[in-house]
């Protein structure tokens, strides 16, 4: 099947030379539908597309990967939910779309160009269900039904547009992942079948505080109890920038035993409480107040037994020191996280089944992604933010039967700013005007084999702005190129460089090592070039102080030395 041929046709729809109305209609029918399924904080380490990339099996992720392409070098642009999503919708880096951080941010400026707006203008019917997290009302969607902010797992609220710009908030009984799936399928069922569609399915899962559905409680336990922890679970943060020691996202010292680990307070005697709690991290379990009596009972019974087991193990000496407590905490964290992903796997299965059963598989491109990466205990951390691989890299699977080669794992360097131009390309609206607003590029050249010269060792720019902020990660930017990750920490004026081939766990900063001097010089030059190419304002992200930026979408590279495709360094 020549996918190029099949998607080259629709481009003609928008040219003035369409021969007849009948022809135009026929071509419009061929425009592919688009579904973007986006989860919140899904780690590629738990993707489930093969035996190697998850501690437990996820049959539907596995099947989707068999039928589509998995991108093993897919990266975000800013490892934080709102900013990352802004990059996805606009196809531009944070300093261009203006959404730099979650906290104290102005709402996303929805007047700027985005892929949903472009598709809507081109005649697609567009829908968005679930997580949005950009505060302002979504633009470019004919239909939207979103969570307020982060949303909730149990009996979540949904916002729909009311009259005069007002928002209608409705609490819906059920579990978030299942509700988002059902509402997405309902929208697909009710859509106008004569038009192509673009649907965003936005899951809350598996975001903190990692609450599996009631029926999935305990289903991940056998895996979490027997797998090996990451080699650097007890990372002491030596041999890297000092600022790392100030981070507040460690499992050992910044994890709440009640709301994050789901221990039941009244079961823990005072002497044991003192042993296990992280000072300053004692919060009520936020989902508890949302549950109905049956959900509460099931949740309580399950976690009471789990807490009693912990207390028993401490009393018997099976768990005897801080390291043992950390390991058990990590196992509880894994169990809850993996259990939460189970519902996402079910959702993928239901959505793919729907497409298959309704004859839509060949004419619908499905993109599955997270909104950034996540630490599953690597470096002793949870959460994301830092440019380390587990946070920078993010899951990406694309399925489009007959158009994207099935069962391929691509090593191409791709970034979330590429999704918007890809969608425009497959929809036949890769007009110069649309494409000039993007900083990413269409991934369609990869569809046949997963390889293409434009994407092999393509350098990728990263920036993180949220400091001050929760978890105290520094403002930093940097790049991924070839085997290297280079980063400048603006908050503390420190550089770090990792040789990912020799040191995949990123435990040693080689920035000042004489044997890396030449590569460091080249990479620093490349970093400057990338900043110029992407029009990063001088002094961004900056060390401290308020930052705000007005969105811009003239993405032609600026400056006499600007090179739109800087050569990578290996």
Exactly one of 53, 261, 336, 371 binds Ca ion (CB under 5 A); that residue is 371
Shortest distance in whole angstroms from residue 81 CB to ligand SGN: 3
- Which CB, 145 or 371, lies closer to Ca ion? 371
Q: Is 345 in the site for ligand SGN (CB under 6 A)?
A: no
Q: Is 81 in the site for Ca ion (CB under 5 A)?
A: yes
Quick one: the chain helix, strand, coil %, rounded to 5? 35, 15, 50
287 makes contact, choosing from ligand SGN, Ca ion, none, with CB < 5 to 8 Å by partner type, with: none
Shortest distance in whole angstroms from residue 5 CB to ligand SGN: 40
Exactly one of 36, 80, 118, 497 binds ligand SGN (CB under 6 A); that residue is 80
Q: Is 40 in the site for ligand SGN (CB under 6 A)?
A: yes
Q: How far apart, in whole angstroms, are the C-alpha atoms of residue 247 and residue 472?
A: 5
Exactly one of 208, 221, 403, 476 binds ligand SGN (CB under 6 A); that residue is 208
Q: Which stretch binds ligand SGN (CB under 6 A): 109-117, 206-214, 312-320, 517-525?
A: 206-214
Interhelix angle for 176-190 vs 322-357, to 10°?
10
Give which of 359, 441, 525 is closest to 92, Cα–Cα.
441
Q: Which stretch binds ligand SGN (CB under 6 A): 59-67, 204-212, 310-318, 550-558?
A: 204-212
Exactly one of 39, 60, 102, 152 binds ligand SGN (CB under 6 A); that residue is 102
The answer for residues whose C-beta is within 8 angstroms of residue 231's C-beta and 6 or more apart is 505
Q: Which stretch binds Ca ion (CB under 5 A): 35-43, 88-96, 142-150, 305-313?
A: 35-43
The answer for residues whose C-beta is within 8 angstroms of residue 398's C-beta and 6 or more apart is 68, 69, 71, 365, 366, 367, 368, 404, 443, 447
Interaction mask 204-243, Ca ion, x per CB under 5 A: ----------------------------------------
Exactly one of 34, 41, 376, 381 binds ligand SGN (CB under 6 A); that residue is 41
37 makes contact, choosing from Ca ion, ligand SGN, none, with CB < 5 to 8 Å by partner type, with: none
Give which of 537, 492, 41 is closest to 241, Cα–Cα.
492
209 makes contact, choosing from ligand SGN, Ca ion, none, with CB < 5 to 8 Å by partner type, with: ligand SGN
Q: How far apart, in whole angstroms, are the C-alpha atoms of residue 59 and residue 50?
A: 9
Q: Which stretch binds ligand SGN (CB under 6 A): 46-54, 207-215, 473-481, 553-561?
A: 207-215
The answer for residues whose C-beta is within 8 angstroms of residue 264's C-beta and 6 or more apart is 258, 300, 303, 304, 307
- Which CB, 123 or 149, lies closer to ligand SGN? 149
Q: DSSP class of residue 108?
A: P
Phi, psi angle pair for 378, to nearest 5°? -65, 140
Shortest distance in whole angstroms from residue 466 CB to Ca ion: 12
- Which residues, numbered 251-270, are part of the site for ligand SGN (CB under 6 A)? none
Exactly one of 470, 483, 505, 522 binds ligand SGN (CB under 6 A); that residue is 470
Q: 10 Å Cβ neighbour count for 237?
A: 17
Phi, psi angle pair for 453, to nearest 5°? -60, -30
Q: Is 135 in the site for ligand SGN (CB under 6 A)?
A: no
Give which of 547, 538, 543 is closest to 493, Cα–Cα.
543
The answer for residues whose C-beta is within 8 angstroms of residue 253's C-beta and 6 or more apart is 278, 279
Q: Is 383 in the site for ligand SGN (CB under 6 A)?
A: yes
Q: How far apart, in whole angstroms, are the C-alpha atoms of residue 502 and residue 52?
A: 20
Exactly one of 46, 125, 209, 391 binds ligand SGN (CB under 6 A); that residue is 209
Q: How far apart, in whole angstroms, are the C-alpha atoms of residue 480 and residue 105?
A: 27
Query: Cβ distance 536 to 477 under 8 Å?
Result: yes
Size of the site for ligand SGN (CB under 6 A): 12
Q: How far apart, in whole angstroms, are the C-alpha atoms of residue 494 and residue 462?
A: 16
Give which of 396, 434, 400, 401 is closest to 416, Cα–Cα.
396
Q: Is 114 in the site for ligand SGN (CB under 6 A)?
A: no
Give which of 563, 476, 488, 491 is closest to 520, Cα–Cα.
488
Q: Is 383 in the site for Ca ion (CB under 5 A)?
A: no
390 makes contact, choosing from Ca ion, ligand SGN, none, with CB < 5 to 8 Å by partner type, with: none
Q: Which two tokens stand for residue 405?
A: 């080669």
Shortest distance in whole angstroms from residue 256 CB to ligand SGN: 7
The alpha carbon torsion through 10, 16, 21, 24 (nearest 10 deg) reads: 0
Q: Which stretch binds Ca ion (CB under 5 A): 2-10, 40-48, 245-253, 311-319?
A: 40-48
102 makes contact, choosing from ligand SGN, Ca ion, none, with CB < 5 to 8 Å by partner type, with: ligand SGN
Shortest distance in whole angstroms from residue 104 CB to ligand SGN: 13
Q: Which stretch binds Ca ion (CB under 5 A): 36-44, 48-56, 226-234, 481-489?
A: 36-44
The number of residues in the chain equals 570
Q: Is 203 in the site for ligand SGN (CB under 6 A)?
A: no
- Which residues, numbered 471-500, are part of the site for ligand SGN (CB under 6 A)? 471
Task: Name the residue whose CB lies closest to ligand SGN.
Answer: 81
Task: Name the residue whose CB lies closest to Ca ion.
Answer: 81
Q: Is 494 in the site for Ca ion (CB under 5 A)?
A: no
Burial label for 352, CB within 10 Å (0-12, 13-18, 19+), is: buried
The 3-state DSSP class for residue 326 equals helix
Which residues contact ligand SGN by CB under 6 A?
40-41, 80-81, 102, 150, 207-209, 383, 470-471
Instruction: Name the residues that contact Ca ion, by CB under 5 A.
Output: 40-41, 81, 371
């Amino acid at each position: 099947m020549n996918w190029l041929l099949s998607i080259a046709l629709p481009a003609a729809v928008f040219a003035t030379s369409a021969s007849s109305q009948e022809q135009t209609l026929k071509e419009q029918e061929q425009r592919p539908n688009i579904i973007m399924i986006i989860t919140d904080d899904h780690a590629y380490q738990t993707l489930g597309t093969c035996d190697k990339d998850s501690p437990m099996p996820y049959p539907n992720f596995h099947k989707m990967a068999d039928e589509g392409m998995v991108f093993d070098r897919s990266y975000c642009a800013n490892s934080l939910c709102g900013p990352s999503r802004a990059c996805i919708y606009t196809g531009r880096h944070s300093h261009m779309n203006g959404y730099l951080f979650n906290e104290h941010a102005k709402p996303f400026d929805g007047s700027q160009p985005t892929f949903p707006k472009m598709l809507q203008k081109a005649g697609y019917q567009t829908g968005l269900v679930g997580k949005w997290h950009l505060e302002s009302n979504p633009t470019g969607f004919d239909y939207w039904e979103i969570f307020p902010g982060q949303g909730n797992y149990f009996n979540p609220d949904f916002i729909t547009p009311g009259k005069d710009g007002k928002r209608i908030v409705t609490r819906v009984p059920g579990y978030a992942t299942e509700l988002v799936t059902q509402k997405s399928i309902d929208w697909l069922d009710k859509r106008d079948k004569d038009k192509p569609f673009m649907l965003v399915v936005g899951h809350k899962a598996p975001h903190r505080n990692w609450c599996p559905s009631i029926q999935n409680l305990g289903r991940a336990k056998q895996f979490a109890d027997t797998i090996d922890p990451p080699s650097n679970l007890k990372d002491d943060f030596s041999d890297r920038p000092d600022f790392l020691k100030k981070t507040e996202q460690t499992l050992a010292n910044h994890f709440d035993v009640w709301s994050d680990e789901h221990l039941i307070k009244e079961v823990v005697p005072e002497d044991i409480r003192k042993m296990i709690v992280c000072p300053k991290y004692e919060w009520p379990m936020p989902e508890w107040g949302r549950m109905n009596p049956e959900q509460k009972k099931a949740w309580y019974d399950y976690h009471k037994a789990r807490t009693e087991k912990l207390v028993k193990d401490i009393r018997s000496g099976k768990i005897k020191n801080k390291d043992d407590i950390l390991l058990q905490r990590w196992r509880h964290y894994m169990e809850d996280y993996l259990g939460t992903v189970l519902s996402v796997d079910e959702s993928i299965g239901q959505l793919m089944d729907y497409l298959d059963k309704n004859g839509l598989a060949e004419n619908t491109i499905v993109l599955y992604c997270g909104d950034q990466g996540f630490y599953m205990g690597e470096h002793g951390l949870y959460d994301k933010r830092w440019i380390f691989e587990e946070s920078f890299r993010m899951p990406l699977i694309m399925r489009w039967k007959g158009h994207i080669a099935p069962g391929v794992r691509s090593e191409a360097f791709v970034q979330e700013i590429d999704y918007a131009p890809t969608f425009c390309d497959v929809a036949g609206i890769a007009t110069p005007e649309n494409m000039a607003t993007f900083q990413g590029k269409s991934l369609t050249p990869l569809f046949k084999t997963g390889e293409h010269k434009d994407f092999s060792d393509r350098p990728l720019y990263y920036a993180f702005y949220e400091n001050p902020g929760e978890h105290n990660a520094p403002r930093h930017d940097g790049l991924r190129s070839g085997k290297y990750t280079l980063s400048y920490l603006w908050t503390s004026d420190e550089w770090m460089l990792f040789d990912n081939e020799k040191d995949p766990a990123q435990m040693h900063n080689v920035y000042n090592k004489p044997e890396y001097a030449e590569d460091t010089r080249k990479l620093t030059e490349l970093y400057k070039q990338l900043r110029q190419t992407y029009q990063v304002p001088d002094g961004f992200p900056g060390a401290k102080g308020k930052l705000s930026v007005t969105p811009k979408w003239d993405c032609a590279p600026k400056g006499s030395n600007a090179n739109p495709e800087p050569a990578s360094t290996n």
